[in-house]
Structure 1
Amino acid sequence: MLDVVVGLLTAVALPLAIVAIPNTISVVSALLPPEIAGVGILRAHGLALPVMLCTVPLAGAAMRRFQAAPILVAGLALLAVADVAGGFAGSTVGVGALRALHGIGAGLLVPATFAASWERPGAARGVLMPIWAGALAVSLLAAQALALWPLDEVTSWRVTLQPYPLLTGVALALAAVYFVLARLTGESADTRATGAERGHLVLAAGPSVGIAVLAFGTTFNWPSGLIVAAAGLAVVMLLAMACAGRIEGAGGRVLAFVMVAVGLVILPTAAQVTYVELGGLGGPGLSGLWAPFGLASVIAFAAALVAGRLSEALVPKLIGGGLVTMVVGLCAVRLFVPAASGMPLLVPFALLTAGAAVAVTSAVRGVGLRAALFGLSLCFPAVLSGFLLGTGIQVGRLRAVSSSGRVTSQAMVDGFVGALHIWALVAGFAVVVVLGVGAVLARRAPDEAPGPLLTTASSPREEAALAETMTGQAGGARSPEDPDTAMIPVVPPPARSPEGTTGEDGGGAAAR
């Protein structure tokens, strides 16, 4: 029963956390009262992601002291309070406070859902961890569309502050059931951690704060080239953190690289594709996107479950294969987008989500909880960095169209599509860089981390003797929390909704 509740809670709570990321207030700008309309409300509504990425590492540090159940309840309670209070928001400050509350709640849920799945013993963890990885990949893919869906033909701008209140209530009820069952069964994981381990997680908050401040600064009309340069510097900083954060040896570093790649690519790419394929730009609209989203989700979950059941000897190849599949998905974006119908989009959607789900599922198999939480703390700064890169590219393209003297509806559409294609190319090269850096560091891993965990036996008998020797030296069986064997890696701001029709002069697209 506890395993079923954790699986359901992951499938509901994780999408709720990720859907808090998109900034959709401009879609309902016509409904805003005059006293709060303007760039200030855009900045206030965009606070959720910066606050979230600063919360995740701190919540990860707290997970080393507390169980997952109370943190899950706290995170969902904050989302519920923000949803209820969202119906009464009436000022820019109020909107900013509620979106910050969304960010805190979401930042608590991401590591808590991971820990809840990780704490389950034996075969249950082997199923729940792929479910968590699949839910993360699918949520990142569909977050922009899910955030836009409740805004279709709305009459109140406050819907952007409470997109799915009923689902939040269901998730909170599941969290309460999980809390009670966990207490009744008395099952708990060993969450003790040294000060150094917690310090690693808190240290990850430094780049997060820096990237959050950087993102806020770019809203003050920075040149597109400066935005791209700043975002590139942020990505380099995250990769440096991934290199340095070897909490559990090579395996922890591999997971950190994977999380940076997944965060950098999936949501920023899917958000741009979603906007390009809306009805006002000639695409199938949101209603035409749900079929490819749904099929891609099924494929991603199936791929994650298969990857979770394969031999651990294949883990390095699965990680590399997952990242390469993401690169192929980015190439497919250039080939299949824009599309007049939704089904061709299944190709890039399935490749991106399945590749991410397989890479994450495989990477978490080789590390303990503390290394996994550190890697997770780098994922959402990478998401914001990806948005900054995509925004800089898009702003540059659209400014070029505006200065050309031929500002038509088709020219603006071409500007959006061209920016997406450039972004797909940049993102693909970024993942290739991650693979290359991982391959270089893999060659150094044996020299960096010598010891019995890197010793290999040439026969099953020698392996058994080695296991007995290690058990005798440790005075007992190894704990799942011990450092595991070294794994060698192979490694925009949203616009007005284009769903409405545009005139011949491209009024809607030009406004965007």
Structure 2
Amino acid sequence: MAVPPTQPTRAVTAGPKGVARPLGVSAVLDVVLGLLVAVVLPLAIVAIPNTISVVAALLPPEISQIAMVRAHGLALPAMVLTVPLAAVAVRRLRAAPLLVAGLTLLAVADAAGGYADSTVLVGVLRVLHGIGAGLLVPATLAAVGERSPFLRAVWGGMLAVSLLTAQALALWPLDEVRSWRVTLQPYPMLTGVALALAAVYLVLWMKRGEGAPAGGGTDAAERGRLPVAVVPAAGIAALALGSTFDWPPDLLVGAALLSILVLFGLASLRTLGGVGGRVPAYTMLAVGVVVLPTAAQVTYVELGGLGGPGLSGLWPAFVIAGVAGVVAAALVSRLGDGAVSLAGAGGLVLVVAGLCAVRLLLPSPGGPAPIIPLALLGVGAAVALTSALRSSGPGAVLFALSLFFPAVLSGFLLGSGVQFMSLKDAATSQALVDGFVGALHLWALIAGGLVVVVIVLCSVLARRSPAPASATADTGAADSLPPGGRSPAEGLPAGRVTGPVMVPEPAPELEPLAGPRSPWPAPAVRAEPEARGEGDRPGRDGSDPGAEPRPEPRPDKTGTLPVVPPPTPSPEDAPGDGPART
């Protein structure tokens, strides 16, 4: 009696053992990257505020305070110029080397900050701070773009929290200091921790063997559009430097408004992804213009010198707002694609509500009053940024990020102009306090109006670019095909009836053991039917119409075994009998 041969079990058991170690490395890589984002983004954003005026009394008499303020303010213009260039570099290279390079620059600037003794050296170190921070933000975005959607949500939440707390974090080390050089090295230990995490991430990245550029490289459109953001960045950086030479408040406000209009115009004309790509760009521009300048003014108004609770009284509000922002971003990552655009609009509405709360509840001498506006701003910015990341490809997101920091600088210029207009007639200490409070309330009104305009623009664009119904159907049809994009009957001649057959289940796609993964959605590809010739029609393929049809041999061996095993020759048969083994 012929006995079918038993199937070997070695191939079945070798599969999970072979992928166990790469999957373990991938999980550790995600954990290290999440910790790196949580540490690096606050370090990068805390380089933005110019805090030298707080310790101006500690400067040596031979150093000009005005010149030192100009030198210390070079970090943000340097960051504004670096981010677009880093966005281009991270699409051609990889994120891990840029992360190590950026943190190395920050570490060198921190170490040399303790020896700074001149305005020129302070300016050089602050430029290094800005360049290092400008490398870190796009590099971390590209790194999480290669991983899970949850890590991208963590990135968006941490960027929102960093914007909200940057001014407070920059001022915290200056409490009761004895040296002005602390402004050049506020968190040296945290920089060291981040550099160690980046080194671990680099080792894991090299061990995993990823070698392709982030997001799969650039196309012709990206190569033409990403460098365009350098032009407005350079112009706004020059504008910021020129504004330090005693510009009148009216001129400063006008220049800031013009720069914001230029950024929105560039986002409208040169955004990657067409009309649908403008919504994330507008969202990031609105968050950049509004959140950090608002949080900076709130922090100054709530300091103890102006009758507020001081930094110690503000930290509970900042902690609650930060935790709520990260949690909200994580929840947005779990939404379906159809709800992401609504979540983005809802985030901007929360930002407007936070600005209204600033006008109604602040200043406050203490208590829980600051929690409400800060929490609304943090949650709204986190939701809006995470939604922008979800709804765009890597090139469009990096282009929007290239416009994001020029928007931050423009927001600072506009907020400073509003403050100067409110303080120019202040002659007493009480008038000074009233001027700061009035500037904060006026700024909240202007910023809220800007965000409302962006919400209207996003709504109009969402109506003009609805998702086509055929795209969903094509995507569903493509998802139903087995690996390789071919249906089970594809490849058989048309008209041949093979009888009842059992269609094998499609083999599950395994996660690649090496190489990058691009989590941004790829466009659905419609499977085109193969052209049929004359010989493929029934009865005209040269075969006998009355003969029993033969099934064509299937080249695909990745599916399950057929229901009936092939006949196996008996050991008692002669060598020439029976079907030959294959």
- Give the whole-Å Cα distance in 1 for the aligned partners of 2:305 and 2:388: 40
1:311 to 2:310 alignment: no
Aligned partners of 2:145 and 2:519 also within 8 Å: no
Aligned partners of 1:368 and 1:480 also within 8 Å: no
- Give the whole-Å Cα distance in 2 for the aligned partners of 1:417 and 1:183: 53
1:386 to 2:399 alignment: no
Is the partner of 1:197 in helix, strand or coil?
A: helix
Q: Which amino acid aligns with 1:428?
A: G
* Matches for 1:370-409 after TM superposition, within 5 Å: 370-401=395-426, 407-409=427-429
- Give the whole-Å Cα distance in 1 for the aligned partners of 2:283 and 2:389: 10
Q: Which residue of 2 aligns with 1:507?
A: none
Q: Which residue of 1 aligns with 2:311?
A: 286
Is the partner of 2:151 in helix, strand or coil?
A: helix
Distance 1:457 1:290, change over 3 A: same
Q: Which residue of 2 aligns with 1:170?
A: 193
Q: Give the structure-2-normalised TM-score.
A: 0.77
Shifted more, 222-231 versus 238-247: the winner is 238-247
Aligned partners of 1:265 and 1:383 also within 8 Å: yes
Cα deviation, 1:137-186, whole Å, max 9, x if unaligned, reads: 00000000000011111111111000000000000000000000000011
- Give the whole-Å Cα distance in 2 for the aligned partners of 1:462 and 1:225: 55
Distance 1:258 1:183, change over 3 A: same
Cα deviation, 1:164-216, whole Å, max 9, x if unaligned, reads: 00000000000000000000011354442135413311110111111111111
1:203 to 2:223 alignment: no
1:240 to 2:265 alignment: yes
Say which of 163, 170, 173 aligns to 1:147: 170
* Matches for 1:44-443 after TM superposition, within 5 Å: 44-120=71-147, 125-188=148-211, 189-401=214-426, 407-443=427-463
Cα deviation, 1:249-289, whole Å, max 9, x if unaligned, reads: 33422111111011111100000000000001110001111
Is the partner of 1:325 in helix, strand or coil?
A: helix
Count of aligned pairs between the two proteins = 465
Q: Which amino acid aligns with 1:75?
A: G
Q: Which amino acid aligns with 2:205?
A: A
Aligned partners of 1:368 and 1:484 also within 8 Å: no
Shifted more, 254-263 versus 171-180: the winner is 254-263
1:462, CA displacement in angstroms?
7.1
Q: Which residue of 1 aligns with 2:20?
A: none
Q: Which amino acid aligns with 2:459?
A: A
What value does the CA root-mean-square deviation take over the aligned residues? 2.1
Q: Which residue of 1 aligns with 2:557?
A: none
Q: Which residue of 2 aligns with 1:41?
A: 68
Is the partner of 1:230 in helix, strand or coil?
A: helix
Distance 1:248 1:180, change over 3 A: same
Distance 1:462 1:158, change over 3 A: closer
Q: Which residue of 2 aligns with 1:19?
A: 46
Q: Which residue of 2 aligns with 1:404?
A: none
Distance 1:30 1:362, change over 3 A: same
Shifted more, 8-17 versus 181-190: the winner is 181-190
Is the partner of 1:344 in helix, strand or coil?
A: coil
Distance 1:362 1:29, change over 3 A: same
Q: Which amino acid aligns with 2:236?
A: I
Aligned partners of 2:29 and 2:205 also within 8 Å: yes
- Give the whole-Å Cα distance in 2 for the aligned partners of 1:297 and 1:279: 22
- Give the whole-Å Cα distance in 2 for the aligned partners of 1:99 and 1:253: 33
Is the partner of 2:186 in helix, strand or coil?
A: coil
Aligned partners of 1:246 and 1:252 also within 8 Å: yes
- Give the whole-Å Cα distance in 1 for the aligned partners of 2:424 and 2:47: 29
Is the partner of 1:363 in helix, strand or coil?
A: helix
Q: Which amino acid aligns with 1:291?
A: P
Q: Which amino acid aligns with 1:416?
A: F
Q: Which residue of 2 aligns with 1:464?
A: 476
1:463, CA displacement in angstroms?
5.8
Distance 1:471 1:50, change over 3 A: farther
Aligned partners of 2:309 and 2:366 also within 8 Å: yes
- Give the whole-Å Cα distance in 2 for the aligned partners of 1:342 and 1:249: 47
Aligned partners of 2:103 and 2:136 also within 8 Å: yes
- Give the whole-Å Cα distance in 1 for the aligned partners of 2:34 and 2:478: 37
Aligned partners of 1:142 and 1:293 also within 8 Å: yes
- Give the whole-Å Cα distance in 1 for the aligned partners of 2:62 and 2:240: 25
Distance 1:462 1:143, change over 3 A: closer
Q: Which amino acid aligns with 2:235?
A: G
1:411, CA displacement in angstroms?
1.3
Shifted more, 135-144 versus 429-438: the winner is 429-438
1:360, CA displacement in angstroms?
1.1
Is the partner of 1:309 in helix, strand or coil?
A: coil
Distance 1:418 1:467, change over 3 A: same
1:465, CA displacement in angstroms?
3.6
Cα deviation, 1:454-477, whole Å, max 9, x if unaligned, reads: 43049x8776347679967xxxx9
Distance 1:252 1:300, change over 3 A: same
Distance 1:471 1:396, change over 3 A: farther
Q: Give the structure-1-normalised TM-score.
A: 0.87
1:13, CA displacement in angstroms?
0.4
- Give the whole-Å Cα distance in 2 for the aligned partners of 1:45 and 1:192: 36
- Give the whole-Å Cα distance in 2 for the aligned partners of 1:306 and 1:56: 28
1:455 to 2:475 alignment: no
Cα deviation, 1:26-69, whole Å, max 9, x if unaligned, reads: 11111111222221111100000011011001000001111110
Is the partner of 1:219 in helix, strand or coil?
A: coil
1:363, CA displacement in angstroms?
1.6
Aligned partners of 1:457 and 1:466 also within 8 Å: no
Cα deviation, 1:212-265, whole Å, max 9, x if unaligned, reads: 111111111111111111100011011111112331233422111111011111
- Give the whole-Å Cα distance in 1 for the aligned partners of 2:261 and 2:433: 31
The percentage of aligned residue pairs carrying the same residue is 61
Is the partner of 2:465 in helix, strand or coil?
A: helix
Q: Which amino acid aligns with 2:92?
A: R
Distance 1:34 1:484, change over 3 A: farther
- Give the whole-Å Cα distance in 2 for the aligned partners of 1:279 and 1:301: 29
- Give the whole-Å Cα distance in 1 for the aligned partners of 2:321 and 2:278: 28
- Give the whole-Å Cα distance in 2 for the aligned partners of 1:342 and 1:36: 41
1:14, CA displacement in angstroms?
0.5
